[in-house]
Amino acid sequence: MKQTDVFGIGMILVIVFVGWADRLLAWDDPTPPAWLVQLPYEEPPENPDVPDVSVPPNTTPLNQEELQRAEALLPLLEGKQEFWAMGEFVHLGESSVPVLVKALTMPSPRIRYNAIETLLMMKGVQGVPALLATAKEPNEIPRVREHALRVAVRLDPAQAPDAIAVMAKDMNPSVRKSAVFEARYVRQKSIIPILIPMVSDDERFVALSALQSLWILTRHETESHDWETSTKQDRAAWSSEWSDWWEDQKDVFEIPEPKRPKRSS
């Protein structure tokens, strides 16, 4: 027998021996096998009632010191302390609205925007006339005008039709879009004749938003049209359909109650 054959047989015997040794050691391992067990679920204990330590907003007229404090907060509506300043106005309550509306004419658009947001947070209905004046201001930036209208409609939609009519005629399509969109939340008949001409707007997205507001307010079902590929001439014809319908219905029409979402069973 050749030496190489003897060496090969020896290697095979070593490998076999090592394998059997591992098996024997595994059988002799005293460690018990691990079994996965699902423990019963215990709900966490209920938290004890925590007393309400929040400070309610002020409901009394501001004294001289508080008025000065509110005035000092106005420039802080922009910068690192803006959220703190907004919270301070909310704490001062609706009595601080006459001071807060001064921010609507300050030079910084950030201050003006945050003042509008603060009026929404404090539900400052007293500030709605100032908000609507801002929304109608043609020299104001569109972002601030649109936010002013949005907040005014949330606080008191009954005062908004005049501002919506002004904004619907604006040169900026974004402003017109905001006007016809917010119109759907103003449930008054006077809004319908404002929306109907907007169906033929030069910008398709403005016209489509006006149409959706009309559907929401009137629930009038019109013929199906391809609005996505429509031209201005198409939309002008479809606007006349709404005009004809309104002429027949305006004396007897009443805004229907808003649809309520169905509860899931």
Range from 182-196, 202-216, 241-255 carrying the lowest mean pLDDT? 241-255
User: Tokens representing 89?
Assistant: 């106005």
What is the per-residue pLDDT across 97-116, written as a single tens digit (0 to 9) for each?
Answer: 999 999 999 999 999 999 99
Q: Are 205 and 177 in contact (CB under 8 A)?
A: yes
Confidence of residue 209 (pLDDT cuts 50, 70, 90): very high
Structure tokens at 130: 């100032």
Quote the pLDDT of residue 23: 55
Is 94 in contact with 124 (CB distance < 8 Å)?
yes
- pLDDT value, residue 52: 60
Which of the 8 DSSP states describes residue 174? H
Candidates 126, 93, 94, 133; CA nearest to 112 is 133
For 239, residues 6+ apart whose C-beta sits below 8 A from its C-beta are: 196, 197, 199, 200
Q: What is the mean pLDDT of residues 203-207?
A: 89
* pTM for the predicted model, two decimal places: 0.75
Break the chain into its structural domains and give their ranges: 187-250
Q: Write down the mean pLDDT value for the chain.
A: 83
- The dihedrals phi and psi of 108, each to the nearest 5 degrees, come to -80, 120
| Predicted pLDDT of residue 24 | 47
pLDDT digits (tens, 9 = 90+) for 4-25: 554 455 555 555 555 555 554 5
Rounded to whole angstroms, how far apart are CA atoms 7 and 11? Answer: 6
**Between 218 and 52, residue with greater pLDDT:** 218
244: left (phi over 0), alpha (psi -120 to 50) or beta: alpha
